[in-house]
Structure 1
């Protein structure tokens, strides 16, 4: 497993520009610990800071790449996790990408147009599909949630985003400005890939 310093640095690969509070939320760490590790990463040349936010440097990425094989060896040698990630990549993740396209666009006279979200019936059907896909994703990723506290954290954050969607806060489907369902899904996907030593294929 990654030590705390590398764990915080790893967080910067999941949200590439993050404040202390944003990163602490992702990683389920206290702000004081997160801040201290980020400041040390800056001192070590593994991160840069500006205007209250932090970003990983190429040196930071190289450092993590050198640590991942040993620190995630237990996960990478777990045949069940390898199989689950393969199923996730080929099935549910592709379906999620298609669903987000459906949320962001709508067919008008046979042509895809930006969805202005004026058709509540259309949006409702997409949200229903999102809920069903969410249930399937939770079941599929249960072995990761059992093995990896951060994977479990991501699933909880997806639960929270979907709850807000269900309450009518539809920005929580895909807005990049908040911890929307799509934003958290992207971060989770990146974490799973880095954990298992796989490359993003889309």
Structure 2
């Protein structure tokens, strides 16, 4: 099993999160915030990440150069692990689950807007299958790349929270079901050099 280098973990965290502050990046990269900050400043010096602020809220995002650099490093890591075929198989198994999760989350969002009638219980039931399947997908992934560890626990935790607080299904301000699933999808396609 390969442990991803910390500089790549930081760059990859920025990619999967999309736009994030130092604490969220450090958490995803499994580093202390000060360590993650050093890697971010190095990446910024090479034009791979940028810092921006909107309405008093600031965060890091990936540049096109950073995306290309990250994909090069991820491809090299994947080949060093001899795991390309396994990742491709997992991605194929992920796609039908992705359609289920996308439909469940979209239905829930429409209901929240008053444009649908999807009940909370039906949404939770739709997401239960992918949650269970994710346990097995993650087990396969982590036999070769340690950085895929944690997605199942995060998704299952959000699903459990959603039974009491439905915002845990689609909220963007927390590790909701939708957000965790989106990050996993981004992780897979970035690792394989694909596009959505």
Q: How does the TM-score come out when normalised to structure 2? A: 0.84
Answer with 181-190 or 124-133: which moved more: 124-133
Distance 1:16 1:172 in 2: 19
Determine which of 115, 136, 141 is the counterpart of 1:139: 136
**Structure 1 residue 62, shift from structure 2 partner:** 2.3
Q: TM-score, normalised by structure 1?
A: 0.82
Q: Is the 8 A contact 2:158 2:169 kept in 1?
A: yes
Question: What is aligned with 2:101?
Answer: 96
**Matched-pair contact (CA < 8 Å) for 2:78–2:191:** yes
- Higher RCO (CA-CA < 8 Å; seq separation 6+): 2
Task: Please name the residue that 2:187 is paired with.
Answer: 191
Give the Å deviation of 1:131. Answer: 2.0
How big is the shift at 1:196? Answer: 2.4
Equivalent residue for 1:169? Answer: 165
CA RMSD in angstroms comes to 2.3
Q: Is the 8 A contact 1:28 1:153 kept in 2?
A: no
> Do the aligned partners of 1:76 and 1:196 also contact (CA within 8 Å) in 2?
no
What corresponds to 1:73 in structure 2? 79
Tell me the residue number matched to 1:109.
none
Larger radius of gyration: 1
How far the C-alpha of 1:144 sits from its partner, in A, is 0.9
Following superposition, which runs of at least 4 residues in structure 1 exceed 6 angstroms of deviation? none
* Alpha carbons 1:75, 1:196 under 8 Å: kept: no
1:130-188: per-residue Cα shift (whole Å, max 9, x none)?
1232112222442013332221122222122122113x121110112222110111011
Gaps of 5+ in 2: none
Write the distance in 2 (CA, Å) between the matches of 1:155 and 1:29: 20
The unaligned stretches of length 5 or more in structure 1 are: 107-111
Q: Distance in 2 between matches of 1:122 and 1:113?
A: 12
